[in-house]
A and B are shown apart, each in its own frame.
Chain A
Amino acid sequence: MTNTYYEFFCPVKVIAGKAALEHIPYELTGRAARRPMIITDKGVRAAGLLDPVIMACEESGLDIISIYDDVPPDSSTTVVRDIAAIYREKSCDSIIAIGGGSAIDTGKAVNILVSEGGTDIAEYTGAGLIKHPLKPFFVVPTTAGTGSEVTSVAVITDEKKGIKLPFSSSFLLPDAAVIDPRMTLTLPAHITAATAMDAMTHGIESFTCMAKNPLSDAYATSAIRKVSESLLHVMDNPKDTDGRLALAQASTMAGIAFSNSMVGLVHSLGHATGALCHLPHGLCMSVYLPYVLEYNLETIRGPLGELLLYLEGPEVYAITPAERRAEASIAAVRKLRDALYKRCELPRTLRETGKVNESQLDQIAEMALDDGSIMFNPKEVTLADVRAVLNNAWG
């Protein structure tokens, strides 16, 4: 018998599809919550995305007690402390986070403070410090990519110390994730593309990295298929509700996959590049994905070849000889990136981003090597390896 062993956990209720937002009041009362607080950012509010949520609650006789709409793109310990103070002052009893990764992470962190007590979120950093269920918490993602609605981690910046604090506990998971196509309908083209490539990367990395397992594999392949089938269609028809819903579901499925089987070198490089060059996460994923797959190729030939079925469909899979499928999968990823470049100039190389200096590559390499996700990369990565991948990705 082999040493095969894995864990899989996802207790989040997924509420997805047409008029999903209108289920929020019912879910709130199901957890005896009467005084919800909304945590979101200015962009979401300006796009009018709060209106259907507020309307849905009012129609059920449920008032939103407080709305905090000033979450910055990189949420901080001060922001979390301020929101927790408002929550307490207004005697709220539940949280609805509406937005992308930052608003969702902020919601998770605020929930720790208002449930566990205290004003300094830094006290709860690390893994396993939270031992009790937290306040009722609901998440409505407005981008289709991060998968934060189904992950048990949050990252908050400590401005004073200039470091990022990770929080990890299964109690951070929301009671429900509400996936409504109305929330992503107005997403601009380049954000649609970048976030979908993040979801694609979550799927591909969880299927090819060290902690892959049969359950996360099922979610990963479904997510990859949905992104492959829908992304270009949505780029050409941004108002297509079905396509938008497909991408949003893909993002959630990829989130479930990677939160159980982790990600690898694409994310190590992406985290480092994001921190040093302030590039959006999804964009970094799209840039690095094919170069890292090429680097890992010989170690992941089997699983990567299998992915051709989900990337290109059964016809292409069937006519491609088994020993060429892994390469064909990488080619499919490149083809998709070219198509996105044509539609919204989503960069394919570091040079094309215009935000990275060649002199920064050494620093990116060193930082990537210390990133936690590198532990799950199927190949043991050295500094020279990372540097070589960066050279290729430079363009």
Chain B
Amino acid sequence: MVIKRFQPIASRAKRQYVALMFQVMGRALQAVSEVDQEVQQEAQALPEGFLFEMMVMPDGASLVVEHVGDGRLHYHGSSAPRPVNVSIRFKHITHAFLVLSFQEKTSVAFANDRMLVDGDVSYAVRMTRVLNRLEAFILPRFVATRAIKEYPKNLHLPEKLISAAQIYLKVATHFIQTARA
């Protein structure tokens, strides 16, 4: 009985955490695309108006970003203005939680069949590189190495600290802006 009652609470907590992480990542993606040249370079190859989505199947939390040109990404919240170009779909909330709580690397999750890619695979590969770069930026090193296959060599500590601060700042202001709007 007790267990039965606890499960929905754990599950709700997972759901809330995943939804929050999607928000943080969405905002951070937009922020990092405004400050980091490498991310801009990667994103520039995407067509303008390209929509990227990460979501939990069947219709759970999601994050949608758009390439608005010049390598800049725009965070759309959880719903897309039109059909998306590339969608990365977690098969279950538990799998999304494993990845977003940095217990399982994104690349490992792919390898482990935790998620599906729908759309042009080459763009999906590109977005995975952007996500890796983002994770390396916003997470402390010991967590980041768990989240990505390899910690980028060209990410030195001062640069990282400054960039991370900038990104956190941007994420924060973005949060406030959204809260105000």
Known: A3-B104, A127-B117. A376 touches B122 (CB 8 A): no
> Is A127 touching B116 in the complex (CB atoms < 8 A)?
yes
Provide the residues of chain A in CB contact with B98, threshold 8 Å: 3
Partner of B112, one of A209, A211, A372, A379: A211
Query: How far is it, in angstroms, between the C-alpha of A126 and the C-alpha of B121 when the chains are bound?
Result: 9
Q: Taking A3-B98, A3-B104 as contacts, is the C-beta distance between A379 and B149 under 8 angstroms?
A: yes
Which residues of chain B have C-beta atoms less than 8 A from A6's C-beta? 112-113
- Please, which residues of chain A bring their CB within 8 A of the CB of B124? 372
Contact indicator per residue, chain B 101-126, by CB within 8 Å of chain A (1) or not (0): 00110011011111011110111111
**With contacts defined as CB atoms under 8 Å apart, how many contacts are there between chain A and chain B in the complex?**
58
Residue of A nearest to B124 (CB): A372
Smallest CB separation, B57 vs chain A (Å): 11
Contact check, A128 vs B111: say whether CB atoms are below 8 A apart.
no
B148 interfacial by beta-carbon distance below 8 Å? yes
Known: A6-B112, A127-B117, A211-B112. A370 touches B148 (CB 8 A): no
The answer to the question of B132 belonging to the interface, with a C-beta cut-off of 8 Å to chain A, is yes
Q: Which residue of B lies closest to A9 (CB)?
A: B113
Chain B, residue nearest A6 (CB): B112
B contact residues around A262 at 8 Å (CB): 111
> Given A5-B114, A6-B113, A166 and B121 touching (CB < 8 A)?
yes
The interface size of chain A toward B, counting residues with CB under 8 Å, comes to: 22
Which residues of A lie under 8 Å from residue B116 when comparing CB positions? 127-128
Taking a contact as CB atoms under 8 Å apart, the answer to whether B150 and A380 are in contact is: yes
A210 and B125 in contact (CB under 8 A), knowing A379-B149, A379-B150?
Answer: no
Within 8 A of A (CB), among B84-141: 98, 103-104, 107-108, 110-114, 116-119, 121-126, 128, 132
Alpha-carbon distance A370/B129, docked complex (angstroms): 10
CB distance from A382 to the nearest CB of B (A): 8
The chain A residue sitting closest to B129, CB to CB, is: A369
Inter-subunit contact B110/A375 (CB<8 Å): yes
Q: What chain B residues lie within 8 Å of A166 (beta carbons)?
A: 121
For A3, list chain B residues within 8 Å (CB). Answer: 98, 103-104, 108, 112
Contact of B111 among A127, A210, A371, A379 (CB under 8 A): A210
* B114 contact set on A, CB distance < 8 A: 5
| A208-249 CB contacts (< 8 Å) to partner B | 209-211
The contact sample of 9 A-B pairs, CB cut-off 8 A, is A7-B113, A127-B118, A128-B118, A210-B110, A371-B122, A372-B121, A375-B125, A380-B148, A380-B149
A interface residues (Cβ-Cβ under 8 A, vs B): 3, 5-7, 126-128, 166, 209-211, 262, 369-372, 374-376, 378-380
Q: Which residues of B contact A (CB under 8 A)?
A: 98, 103-104, 107-108, 110-114, 116-119, 121-126, 128, 132, 148-150
Contacts beyond the supplied A127-B117, A210-B110, A376-B107: 12 A-B pairs with Cβ under 8 Å: A7-B113, A128-B116, A209-B111, A211-B112, A370-B122, A372-B117, A372-B124, A375-B107, A375-B110, A375-B125, A376-B111, A378-B149
